[in-house]
Chains A and B, each alone.
Chain A
Amino acid sequence: MDLLKRIFRPKPAKPPVDGVKTAPLSPSAIRQGPGPRLDHHVVVGMAQSVGMERTHNEDSLFVMHGSSAGLESLPEFGLFIVADGMGGHRSGEVASSISVRSVARRLNQDSLLHLFDLEVEDDTLPLLDLMRHALEEANQAVVTRVPGGGTTLTAVLMLGHQVTIGHVGDSRAYLIDNATAKPITRDHSLVKRLEELGQLKPEEAEVHPQRNVLYRAIGQGANLEVDVFTQPVPRDAFLLLCSDGLWGVVPDLSIQKIVTSAKNPQEACEELVKAANAAGGPDNITAVLVFFPPE
C-alpha cells in the first residue's frame, strides 16, 4: 500500500529557481548545526587523550555546570578545571588529581553550595580570595601528600555574569570568538618570562628546548603565588581550558578554526584532541570548552 502510494503520489513541487537564497550565510548562521540549541544556556564539551607517545595520563579535568529555570531560578553556574601533573614515579598523576579534587571541594563548599541557601549569608569571602585559598590549599595537599610531585592548575568559576579564574603553571584559558583565540592566562614558564623580558622572540619560544620548564606550579614549596582574576562572561564566545599537550602542538589559529566550525563544544573538543594527536601527540591532551550564549 505504502509502495503504491509512494509511486503514485505526485512529485513535490520544486522550489522556484528564482528567489532561492544563494548568498553566503553569516558565520554564526553556519555554526548553527543540528546540535543542541545554544541560544540561552552555557554548553560544555570536554575531551582527553593520553597522546601518542606517553603511556601515563598525568592530566586531570573537572567539569560541573548548573542551569535552572522557574521562579527565583538560580543563576547559571559552573566550575571548570584543568590540571597537568608532573614529577617522577606516579606523583604527576596523583598531584593533578588531588589538586583538582581539593579545589573543587573548597569552591563547592564555600561558594556554590551557598547558592542553594534560602537565607543569604552575610559573611562569605570574596570569590577572588576563595579561589586563591582553594589553590593554596591544593598546593598544601600536594606538598604534604605527594612530595616531588607538582601540577599546573587552571580553574574557572562561573557565577552569574562573572567568571573568576585561578591559575598556576602553563595550562591555558583561551577566549575564542569568530575572529581570534586569545589566551587570558599567563604561562608561568621560563620561555614565556624570557619572552616578556624581550630575551626571546615568540617564534623562538615556540621551539625552545626548555619551553616546558615552569617557574611556578602547585606542589613546589609552601609559598605559592597564584594568579587570580575576574572578568565578565564572554558573549557569543567560547572559553577553552587546555593543557600544553594541546596548545603546544596545535597553533592558536587552528584551535580557533576547529572550535568555531564544530557543530557543538563536545565535537570541538574531540576534534581538538584529534588535531593534537595528528600533530604527533607528544604529551597528554586535555580540553574543556564552554560556550557562552549571546546575551
Chain B
Amino acid sequence: MRRTTRTLANKPGETDQMGMLQPGVTLQDRYLVLGILGAGGMSSVYKGRDLHFPNVTKLVAVKEMINMAADPTMYEMVVRNFEREADLLATLSHPAIPRIYDYFTHESSSYLVMEFIEGRDLEAMLREADDFFPEDKVISWAVELCDTLTYLHGHQPQPVIFRDMKPSNIMIDHHAHIRLIDFGIARVFQPGQKGTMIGTEGYSPPEQYRGEASPPGDIYALGATLHHLLTRRDPRAEPPFSFSERPVRELNPKVSPEIEAVINGALAYDPKDRYPSAEAMKSALLAAAKQTGILISPAASASLQLRNEVQEIWSFECEDELRSTPIVHNGIMYIGCYDNNLYALDAKKGSFLWKYATEGGIPTRPAAQDDIVFVASEDHHLHAVTADKGKLVWTYRAEGPIRSSPVVYEGYIFFGCDDGHLHVVSMQTGRRAWRAEATAPIRTAPLVADERVYFGSESGDFYCIDFKGEIKWRFRAKRAITSSPILVEGMIYFGSMDWTLYALEAEGGWQVWRFRMGRPTISSPAYSEGRIITGCADGIIYAIDARNNRELWRYQTEHQVTGSPIIHEDSVFCGSVDGSMYCLDLRSGRKRWMFRTGGPITGTPVVVDNTLYFGSNDHHIYALLT
C-alpha cells in the first residue's frame, strides 16, 4: 500500500527506521516533537510543545494516525470521518476528559493535538505494582469512571461511546484523579482492512465485534478493566469473554463478594443483563463499598461418604499384605502376596484354586502365556509354574531381589532386578538369552516394543536399548525412576522420584515435556483419549493433556497414591494409601464411587469382564462390579 510508507520522510532524518517522527521535527510550523509517548497499531502518540507559546513551555500530546486507504475516495472519506470525530471531541467538557486543541491532516497522516496529562496510566501502574491494588482505591477509580461514562452517554444530541475502556487508556493524574486519554478515534483509520490486524481485545464487549457500539459496551469494558485491576490477570492473554471462567475472588480472595458481584454484573455476555447505565453501576459500587471488611465464607465441609457405593462380588483373605497387581488369565486370577505365595483364584467366584510358595515377598505383577505363569520374587528368582495347578516348571536365578514385573515378549521374559541388570530369559527353558547392565537397581516393568526395551532405574537413568543390549539413548531424571513407562504414539511417559512426570520422544529420547507434581511419584501412568493419568505421593490423581502438559483435572485422595491408575472405558480406577479404591470420570475427574478397604492400596487394579480386581494391604483381594 502506497500510503503506508511515510511521505513526510522526504526530508531525511525526520523519521526513524520504523517511520516514527524524530524529536526535533516540527508539525504545522507549530508543534515541536519532543519524544514518543506510545505507539500501537496504526497510531503513535508524541509529546510535543506548542510553539505559539514561545515564552512558556506548553506541552501537548500529539496523536498521529496513519491513513492506510490506498484509494483516493476512501482516503478522503477517512479524513472526513476523522474531522467529524475530532469536532465532536472538541465539544466535550469534563474534568476527566483531556481537552482537544487542534487537528490537521498532512500527507498520509492525521493528527490530533490534545492536553498533555502528567501522570501514569493504569497499565504501567499494574505492571510496576508488586501486589494487588487495594480494593478501596479501585472502587474510587471505578466510581469516577462511572461518572465520566455517565457524562459521555448523556451527551446531546447523541451519546458518545468511549469504546476503548482499558487500563492503558486511563491515567491517574497528579491529583490522583482518573483521566480518560484515548478516545476511539483511531478506529476511523481501520475501515474494512484487508489482511491481519490487531484489536485491543480482552476488554471489549462481544457485541462490539458485530459492529455495535452502545453504552452497555462501555460498561462491559469497565467491568473487564476492574477485573484486570483487581486480579492482575491480563484479559488480553486470555480467550475473549472468558471472565466467568476466572472469578475475581478465585484470583484475589481479598476482594469482597459484593464487589465481585458488581463486576460480574457489568460483564454479562448479553448487554440486557448488564447494568442499564453507568449511573446504576455507580450506585451498586457505592452500596457494595459500604460493606467494608472481607467476608470469609465458611469452607463447605465435604460430606464424607463412609458407605461403599459399589457392589462387591467377592473378597478373599491371604496371610499377609497384597502390595502388587493381579492378572486374570483364562478365567483365573493370579496375584502375588507378601506371605511369599502366588495365589490362583477362580476369577468369577473368588474360590481358592492353589498357591505357589516362593522364598520371598512378591511385589510384582505375574505374567502369563498359554499354560505357564511367571512370577518374580524378592527371593532373587523368577519362577515359572503351570497355570492350572501351580506346579514348578523352572526357576531362573538373578543376583538380587526382583521388584520389576516381568513382561512376556515373543518367547522371552524381560524383567529388571535389584542386581542392576535387565534380564532376558527364554520362556521355554528358563535360560538367560542376554542381559544388559544399568548402574543401579531396576524396579520398573520393562516396556518392550519395536525391537526396543525401555526401562528406568533407581539411579534416575532411563534407558532405551536394542535387542543386542546396546544403548540407543539414555535420559537422566534427577531422582530414581520406579514408575514403569508406557508408550503411546511414539511418546514414552513415566514418573520419577524427582516429583516429575516425563514425556520423551521414543526414537531419540528427547524430552518433549514434563509435568511437575507436589511430591515424588512411583505410580505408572495410564493413557486414554489424549490424557495421561497418574498418581503421586502428594495424594493426587492427576489428568494431564498429552499434547501440551496442561493439567486437565486433579483428584485429591486422603493419602499418598503409590499405586497406578488404569482406565476402562470412561472410568479411571486408582487406589490410594488412604485405603480406598476410587472410580473417577475420565473426562472430568469427578468421583463416581469409592470403595473403602481396611488397609493401604499400593497395587494396580485390573478390569476383566466388567469386574475390577485388586489387592489391599488389609490382606484381602477384592472383586467389584464396575
Contacts and interface: CB of A to CB of B under 8 A. Distances in A.
Chain A bound to chain B:
yes
A229 B201 contact: no
A120 interface: yes
B505 A162 contact: yes
A32 interface: no
Contacts of B489: 231-232
A161 B513 contact: no
Interface string A186-198: 0000110110110
19 contacts: A55-B1, A75-B508, A86-B195, A86-B196, A88-B19, A88-B41, A90-B17, A126-B511, A127-B511, A127-B513, A169-B196, A209-B192, A213-B197, A215-B201, A215-B236, A216-B237, A224-B237, A229-B547, A229-B548
B18 A146 contact: yes
A285 B512 CA distance: 31
B206 interface: yes
Contacts of A190: 199, 201, 209, 240
A232 B196 contact: no
Contact of B202 (A160, A215, A231): A215
Interface string B520-542: 00000000000000000000000
Interface string A224-244: 110111111100000000011
Given A90-B18, A232-B490, A232-B491, A214 B234 contact: no
A162 B510 CA distance: 9
B508 A283 contact: no
Contacts of A231: 489, 547
A164 interface: yes
A222 B127 contact: yes
A284 interface: yes
Interface in B454-511: 473-476, 489-491, 503, 505-508, 510-511
Contact of A161 (B211, B239, B490, B549): B490
A246 interface: no
Contacts of B39: 147-148
B150 interface: no
A39 interface: no
Contact of B197 (A86, A162, A193): A86
Given A90-B19, A148-B40, A215-B239, A54 B196 contact: no
Interface string B64-96: 001010000000000000000000000000000
A105 to B, nearest CB: 19
Given A54-B194, A75-B507, A128-B548, A89 B66 contact: yes
Contact of A53 (B17, B194, B513): B194
B513 A230 contact: yes
Interface stretch (B2-10, B154-162, B327-335, B347-355): B2-10
B254 interface: no
Given A88-B41, A162-B512, A197-B241, 8 more contacts: A55-B2, A86-B197, A126-B503, A126-B512, A160-B490, A161-B506, A193-B241, A214-B199
A214 B4 contact: no
> For the side of the interface on A, what is the size category?
35 or more
B234 A221 contact: yes
B42 interface: yes
A223 interface: yes
B43 interface: yes
Given A127-B512, A213-B201, A232-B489, A283 B196 contact: yes
Q: Is the interface of B mostly helix, strand, loop or mixed?
A: loop
Interface residues of B, number: 61
A97 to B, nearest CB: 13
Interface string A179-210: 00000000000110110110100000000011
Most chain-A CB neighbours within 10 Å: which of B38, B192, B201, B211? B201
A126 B513 contact: yes
B191 to A, nearest CB: 10
Given A88-B4, A127-B513, A193 B239 contact: yes
Given A54-B195, A148-B40, A215-B201, A127 B510 contact: yes
B514 interface: yes
Nearest to B506: A161
A243 to B, nearest CB: 8
Contacts of A293: none
Nearest to B234: A223
B198 A213 contact: yes
B376 to A, nearest CB: 30
A91 interface: yes
A216 B1 contact: no
B73 to A, nearest CB: 16
Given A126-B511, A159-B510, A220 B198 contact: yes
B42 to A, nearest CB: 4
Most chain-A CB neighbours within 10 Å: which of B36, B42, B43, B513? B513
A45 interface: no
B198 A214 contact: yes
Contacts of A160: 490, 505-508, 510
Contact of B195 (A197, A212, A227): A212
Contacts of B476: 122
B510 to A, nearest CB: 5
Given A54-B195, A190-B201, A212-B194, A120 B474 contact: yes
B55 interface: no
B254 to A, nearest CB: 22
A54 B1 contact: yes
A200 to B, nearest CB: 9
Contact of B44 (A55, A86, A94, A148): A148
A127 B20 CA distance: 38
A216 B548 contact: no
Contacts of B507: 75, 160-162
B531 to A, nearest CB: 14
Contacts of B301: none
Nearest to A186: B239
Contacts of A75: 507-508
Contacts of A129: 513-514
A89 B201 CA distance: 22
Contacts of B1: 54-56
Contact of A58 (B17, B195, B548): B195
A217 interface: yes
Contacts of B503: 126, 230
Nearest to A228: B548
A225 B209 contact: no
Contacts of A220: 198, 236
